[in-house]
Structure 1
């Protein structure tokens, strides 16, 4: 495809790290990383991402253990702890972690991400998730809220966290040795939040962070999830399979922003994509075939049951996709996959081959040139502001993208050739919010 002028908007690239890779069996690839508890391997992944000038590293998380679903994802380090350590061996790349609004508390989350923002010099991001899987509830001694209640809780949770981040003025810490005044009490205020789910006095016991507020990610695909993202998120991580559908989703989401006093450029939409890169298309498809060869019918049934929220063992894997209602959990994943299955007349095994490859995310397989062409097409035709890259395994599954695809995108003027700013907000083209801007916009729930 032809090059575009460098004055045009730049593509954003995030690295989504899910254990040893996004393919459930990627760790079985020869020479692949086999432990996500090996911090030296994580440091090498981060170094490659920063060398590739990625906007950020984005760590997924869950709150339960299921060794059958994704072994390397179950056996892993806690994301905020890991990213705080990574902050000391990286200098520019953003550092994003998942924390639950259903099983966390606003004060702890606000304090933790403000701390990461200070430690990293303004590179922190919080992926605010409602926690779809009901299995998590047993680890917290609670009942799992239904879909609607989870989003009602999340609305208030986000408001409280944003409010806590703004309890301090930027210049509240004066450190005046002559007068003995360390903190100006007139520039620190309580939040005094009283809501249906949370009562939080505040303020935080940490000053306003370098970005003013850490960047907020969200990944909701349902109507409540999109509304919450349109109101509160800086970046949205989306699930897509089809270009035309992605364009409709992109336009529909951007249209919601004006209701909250926001413009299209205020929120970046980054679909997840698992690139399988080869020197030729044939080599790439052979690599994907080798990965798929590690999968079994037993793992297929387990993953399909998990994603569709029902026991799929009663159905024939080589038969048609049954009529299923959208589950209370994994609403977006299930909706996208069922839509594609009906449109393309998939069998259940076809659906599993997509889910097993990237758990429902878009799989893009081909030469570096073909992958760059496709990403450019999506970026230029209103389907994405960039992409969350989900390597099938590390390290080769990621270095192939950094060394093969990124240079092509740079040559076409689509992606940066150097970091121009210091903070994650700089990389994303987001302004540093003034104190009080977000609480005024969000209001009190």
Structure 2
């Protein structure tokens, strides 16, 4: 086992550039201090500059070092909670608004990429597939609900035989095709946002780990070698929050997910296993997800762990999941294997909160991070600037704390995950 690093990442190896922002040294002032250099923080910083506010962004490692630079790259409409369940908790108008914002989040990513000319291997189409025959009816019903109740037409049900032909396997049993969804190179997207933020006047600082802060009447953020005096603090740490803010730490649970990248695959194989070049995610509780890179590598995500340590051989850990679906890939080299930490909530909805008059947080995206984190940053910035409707609608969704708080949440989660992983395997 070993602790985290992105050195084995295909994304890091194929990054457009190496970010090289200075560390914070001494004392500075800004209207807003953003803590975290992933999608949430970078999106917030960009939007805050549009509102005319000065911004200092502090990242403990390097830009995109966390989940924003390591993830599966899928940018899809929708939320993890069923719309009917959401409406029961917050009312139909708010549930409808949250659904619309999930659509808006994908369009925001698309707009930022186009506006700032971010080179990130942008592609189109996400396919959610049934991993078991019994899941197909649920997926078909979900498509019908989106079309008939929500009035959303950029989604289609794909019959089992057609999915099997699209993906070259008989192990999937129907699918939900989001035709207007995206997939991309996540690190290059993050680095592109950072370049845009820098050009907009954001002060970006890497290797500037926040050790403490005060919020309220006197607001200051501290690192070991410098401080930021500010009016507001935006927390954008997600799975890397740690003990920094104990008032909200129990709302999320950090978990680890892993990805491999094969060598570039021949065109005939690419056409057989993913002829439409879509991003795929299956219906298992511990999902498999995969897509093709810009240079025809298969990027495959699978397997989770729930401690701070990673498997010693990530490539083999993930490869077993890939070969269960595509045994013919055993003859192709695995060039990269890496992992990262994301944050989940108990209800799998993101947690948005104004913790006090000076402190905002958005995190816990539970696997929808590319789209919803980009949106979360924007909504925090808008709320701080006086347009809080979108932020408040997400904040209206109750976010229960994990039982036992940060101390006891881990054994409970592991027991639950073990149960669902057994269901994936045997039922």
Q: TM-score, normalised by structure 2?
A: 0.29
From the two aligned structures, give the one with the greater strand fraction: 2
- Bigger Rg, structure 1 or 2: 1
